Copies of this chain bind each other. A is one copy, B any other.
Amino acid sequence: MSHIDHTHDPKAQSWVASANTAGTDFPLQNLPYGLFRRLHSNESARVGVAIGEQILDLKLAAALGKWSSAVQVLLQPLAEGDLNSFMAKSVAERRALRHALFDALREGSAQAGALQAALVAQGAVELFVPCKINDYTDFYTGIHHAVAVGKLFRPDNPLLPNYKWVPIGYHGRSSSIVASGVPLRRPKGQLKPPTADVPVFAASKRIDYELELGLFTASGNALGEPIAMQDAEQHMFGLTVLNDWSARDIQPWEYQPLGPFLAKNFGSTISPWIVTMDALEPFRCAFERPADDPQPLPYLDSAANRAEGGYEIELEVWLQSAKMRAAGEPAARLVRSNFRHAYWTLAQMLTHHASNGCNLQSGDLLGSGTQSGPKPEEAGSLLELTQGGKQPITLPNGEQRLFIEDGDTVILRAFAERDGARRIGFGDCACTITPAL
């Protein structure tokens, strides 16, 4: 099923020079979609494709480039700023545009001259949430996170009995999803430490990040019509980096019996570029369950999923405190993890979600849940890293953290790297927490 073609050729270079540097997140092989507006302009938001340190403005590209009539049709919604309509198109159509953009941006393309005027520097724009997110669902596929957090509450029985059977998920809040760079205010909420008799309404003292990837859906399904495992990939558009911000002191008091609510919905941050599934083809990997674990029920199983349902994507958490920023010190990396540790695949998340007939729509966001690795130092949240807020971590400048302080900027990063493929990056998912009201 894996679809490697000339757009994955690691030797291919772009006439946009910055796309050819070794460390770029956005080489010619990536071509992720985003929504931007030129700073100091009155333009409405436009869809663009990141290439090196530039953005190809698809409104201008549609007007200035030479495209086949089929590609012009594909470009039309994008030129109008409507990514959702393009996301709903078929795999073949989406791939056709990838090919057209790849060829147009490739070194030696006859389009270089015309499209030069369709480029805008990434530093000269504001980036937004790239599409209309109709519904946001967060899964819980990080088994090492589930075990580590479970241990804090139930030392003898950290993993609930449903975990290895059900891709656990719950509905999140779509309105408060913001793009990288938008600050979020520390929330207030009902706090009731175990020792207190009654709750108080006060600012959260335990703000935490969660290191996740988010899947944007392509075409949806009609209400009442499930999506079979073998069809799931057609409904996958691309991935983003997701920080599912959490208030750890609001969560325990509010979440029984119906799940997290205000502990989560004060804001979630995503990286503003959607890296397409096509760009990630070279990084697929086998999805294997430990032999002792139950195998997925038939509706969540397929040979293709076992052979290549996983994705090897490096994940990182960085932190820069206000003090570090003032001193001109760079962010420090706290953690590295990898998406290959997920207990359920993207296809299983999607198929499970629609298995009862729930209708997905193009532009829905499905979070992966916190992607902690098996080692304690690969933890995807401070709750885990600090053992429930008990063991502080120390930053390079000597500052200590149990949870996030006001002025801290958390930067989540993701990239895929493998011999024989060009490195594909996601861009930063960064957010600064500002003081409570």
The residues of A with any CB-CB pair to B shorter than 8 Å are 134-135, 137-138, 140, 160, 162, 165-166, 168-176, 178, 184-185, 187-190, 192, 198-201, 220, 223-224, 226, 247, 250, 253-262, 265-267, 294, 297-299, 352-353, 355-361, 364, 437
Assembled-state Cα–Cα distance A262/B169 (Å)? 9
Task: List chain B residues, Cβ under 8 A from A262.
Answer: 352-353, 355-356, 358
Name the distance in Å between A270's Cβ and chain B's nearest Cβ.
Answer: 14
Between A and B, 20 residue pairs with Cβ closer than 8 Å are: A135-B175, A160-B257, A162-B254, A165-B190, A165-B253, A168-B257, A168-B261, A170-B170, A170-B260, A171-B172, A171-B173, A171-B265, A178-B223, A184-B224, A185-B223, A189-B356, A200-B297, A226-B437, A247-B356, A258-B260
Task: List chain B residues, Cβ under 8 A from A437.
Answer: 224, 226, 357
Name the distance in Å between A436's Cβ and chain B's nearest Cβ.
Answer: 9
Name the distance in Å between A64's Cβ and chain B's nearest Cβ.
Answer: 34
Q: Are B171 and A226 in contact (CB under 8 A)?
A: no
The contact of A201 among B176, B224, B355, by CB within 8 Å, is B355
Assembled-state Cα–Cα distance A226/B266 (Å)? 10
CB-nearest residue of chain B to A250? B356
Q: Are B259 and A258 in contact (CB under 8 A)?
A: yes
Q: Are A174 and B258 in contact (CB under 8 A)?
A: no
Name the distance in Å between A119's Cβ and chain B's nearest Cβ.
Answer: 32
CB within 8 Å for A358 and B176 given contacts A168-B254, A170-B170: yes
Assembled-state Cα–Cα distance A247/B356 (Å)? 10
Assembled-state Cα–Cα distance A171/B177 (Å)? 14
Name the distance in Å between A229's Cβ and chain B's nearest Cβ.
Answer: 12
Task: List chain B residues, Cβ under 8 A from A137.
Answer: 261
CB within 8 Å for A188 and B356 given contacts A160-B256, A223-B176, A257-B160: yes
**Besides A171-B261, A190-B297, 19 other A-B contacts (C-beta < 8 A):** A135-B173, A137-B261, A162-B192, A162-B199, A165-B198, A171-B173, A175-B359, A184-B223, A184-B224, A185-B357, A188-B357, A200-B297, A226-B437, A255-B259, A258-B260, A262-B353, A262-B358, A266-B356, A267-B357
Name the distance in Å between A66's Cβ and chain B's nearest Cβ.
Answer: 36
Assembled-state Cα–Cα distance A258/B247 (Å)? 15
